[in-house]
Chains A and B, each alone.
Chain A
Amino acid sequence: MLLIDDEPDILRVLSRSLRADGYEVSTAASGAEGLAEFEHTHAEIIITDIKMPGMDGIEVLKRIKLMNADTEVIIITGHGDIDKAIEALQYGASDFINKPVRDEALSIALKRAGEKIDIRQRLKEYTQNLEGKIEFATRELRRRTNFLGKLIRSSYEGIVATDEDLRIVVFNPGAERIFGHFQEDLVNNRSLAEILPEEMNALFDRAMNAERSYKEVPWREASIESKSGERIPVMFSGSILVEGSHKLGTVAFFQDLREIKKLQRELVHSERLAAIGQTVAGLAHGIKNILHGLKGGRYLVDVGIAKKNNEKLSKGWDMVKRAIERTSDLVMDLLSYSKERQPQYEPCAPNAIAAEVCDLVRERAEQEHAELVCEFDPAIDQVLMDPHTLHTVLLNLLSNAMDACLFDEETGKRWQVTVRTAAEADGTIRFEVGDNGTGMSDEVKEKLFTSFYSTKGQRGTGLGMLVTHKLVEEHGGRIEVETKLGQGTTVSVWLPYRTEKRTA
Chain B
Amino acid sequence: MGKKVLVVDDDPDVRLFNTTVLEENGYLAIEAENGEEGLQMIKSEKPDLVILDVLMPRQSGIRLYRELKTNASLREVKVLILSGIAKKTFLRSQQALTEFGESQVPEPEFYLEKPVDADVLAATIKKTIG
Contacts and interface: CB of A to CB of B under 8 A. Distances in A.
Given A288-B113, A288-B114, A458 B17 contact: no
B91 to A, nearest CB: 16
Given A300-B20, A315-B16, A319-B17, A292 B84 contact: yes
Nearest to B112: A292
A290 to B, nearest CB: 8
Nearest to A288: B84
A299 B122 CA distance: 12
B11 A293 contact: yes
Interface in A154-195: none
Q: How large is the interface on B (under 10, 10 to 19, 20 to 34, 35 or more residues)?
A: 20 to 34
Interface in A279-325: 284-286, 288-289, 291-297, 299-300, 302-303, 312, 315, 319, 322-323
Contacts of A285: 55, 84-85
B105 to A, nearest CB: 23
B16 A319 contact: yes
B9 to A, nearest CB: 9
B114 A300 contact: no
Given A285-B84, A285-B85, A315-B16, A299 B11 contact: no
A300 B17 contact: yes
Interface string B11-48: 10110111011001000000000000000000000000
Nearest to B82: A292
Interface string A249-282: 0000000000000000000000000000000000
Given A296-B17, A315-B16, A289 B11 contact: yes
Contacts of B16: 296, 300, 315, 319
B55 A292 contact: no
Interface in A320-357: 322-323
A172 to B, nearest CB: 60
Nearest to A458: B11
B118 interface: yes
Interface in B87-117: 113-117
Given A285-B55, A288-B113, A312 B84 contact: no
Nearest to B17: A296
A48 B38 CA distance: 139
Nearest to A459: B11
Chain A interface, DSSP helix/strand/loop, else mixed: helix
A288 B116 CA distance: 9
A22 interface: no
A292 B118 contact: no
A457 interface: yes
A292 B85 contact: no
Contacts of A294: 115
A312 B118 CA distance: 15
Contact of A312 (B13, B20, B85): B20
A289 B24 contact: no
Nearest to A300: B20
B11 A457 contact: yes
Nearest to B113: A288
A289 B84 contact: yes
Nearest to A291: B115
A140 B98 CA distance: 78
Contacts of B14: 289, 292-293, 296, 458
B20 A292 contact: no
**Most A Cβ at <10 Å: residue of B10, B57, B115:** B115
Nearest to B20: A300
Nearest to B56: A457
Contact of B116 (A284, A292, A303, A455): A292
A312 B20 CA distance: 9
A286 B14 CA distance: 13
A282 to B, nearest CB: 10
A295 B21 contact: no
A288 B24 contact: no
Nearest to B33: A457
Q: Name the 3 nearest CB pairs between A and B, nearest first.
A: A296-B17, A291-B115, A292-B114
Given A292-B84, A458-B10, 11 more contacts: A285-B55, A289-B115, A292-B114, A293-B14, A296-B17, A297-B13, A299-B20, A299-B117, A302-B118, A457-B11, A457-B56
Interface of B: 10-11, 13-14, 16-18, 20-21, 24, 55-57, 84-85, 113-118
27 contacts: A285-B84, A288-B113, A288-B115, A289-B11, A289-B14, A289-B84, A289-B114, A291-B114, A291-B115, A292-B84, A292-B114, A292-B115, A294-B115, A295-B17, A295-B116, A296-B13, A296-B18, A296-B20, A299-B20, A299-B117, A300-B16, A300-B20, A312-B20, A319-B16, A455-B57, A458-B11, A458-B13
